Structure 1
């Protein structure tokens, strides 16, 4: 289970989608989102996204920081940090600066570390 302490480290949750809710379409929020329901479509958040253990997404997630404790079938783009909890499953490619996969967490896809790309670009500019 995802602890309140871990969620608090990512900031306040502005929007909560419960496990009773199913959404088909895009979700855009200027704040942070906690998702325990099902979404078919793209999720874009200027804040953080927490996909709870009962959460399921078929589509893409883009946010500042992302915690995955549920299941996503699609690509994940975290501006900063992506964390896959022990119950989390990502079936798609990920891009982030910091990647944490806890024991039991699953990443079935490619990982692209944006920090490394930034360093390589700076190295090319100096030449």
Structure 2
């Protein structure tokens, strides 16, 4: 359990982590450590890269860039989880997660972004499709759009 600097347990808000639930048996393809691939890669299911990849990656599924992996590519996937190094632009239909010790040098377009403390992100992010996403909480009363106030005389 994470702790505060004085050793006391961290509050629930600090401890709470959001992770894509990936079980080993859910990974359908692995580009293992020591392997190198160059070109255009299309896949279904979950792809985990542990080696070196250069080129373009296209899928509606989940891409996991493992710790120690080096990817230099234009990426267009459903979801991407970055634990290694990515150089290139990332477009994800669902979400992008950059987890420690991940590094991303490029731009992101996604409706959902999670960046863990201690990672490197050098680029820009555009939160695309945010109007289609349902807000997690209803708007506050003072945020609701209301018509112009009528001036009362009296």
The two structures share one fold, judged by TM-score above 0.5: yes
Q: CA RMSD in A?
A: 1.9
Structure with the bigger percentage of helix? 1
Which deviations, in whole Å up to 9, do the C-alpha atoms of 1:11-61 show, x marking residues without a partner?
Answer: 921100101100111111122200001011011122100000111111111
1:64 paired with 2:62, answer: no
Structure 2: any 5+ residue segments left out of the alignment? 1-18, 134-154
The TM-score, its normalising length taken from structure 2, stands at 0.68
The runs of 4+ residues in structure 1 deviating greater than 4 Å are none
| Greater C-alpha Rg | 2
Q: Higher relative contact order at CA 8 Å, sep ≥6: structure 1 or structure 2?
A: 1
Which deviations, in whole Å up to 9, do the C-alpha atoms of 1:45-95 show, x marking residues without a partner?
Answer: 221000001111111111111100000110011111100001111100001
1:39 paired with 2:56, answer: no
- Is the 1:77–1:96 contact (alpha carbons within 8 Å) kept by the matching residues of 2? yes
- 88, 94, 110: which is aligned to 2:108? 94
Structure 1: any 5+ residue segments left out of the alignment? 120-127
- Is the 1:34–1:52 contact (alpha carbons within 8 Å) kept by the matching residues of 2? yes
Q: What does 1:6-85 correspond to in 2, within 5 Å? A: 6-8=20-22, 12-85=26-99
The TM-score, its normalising length taken from structure 1, stands at 0.82
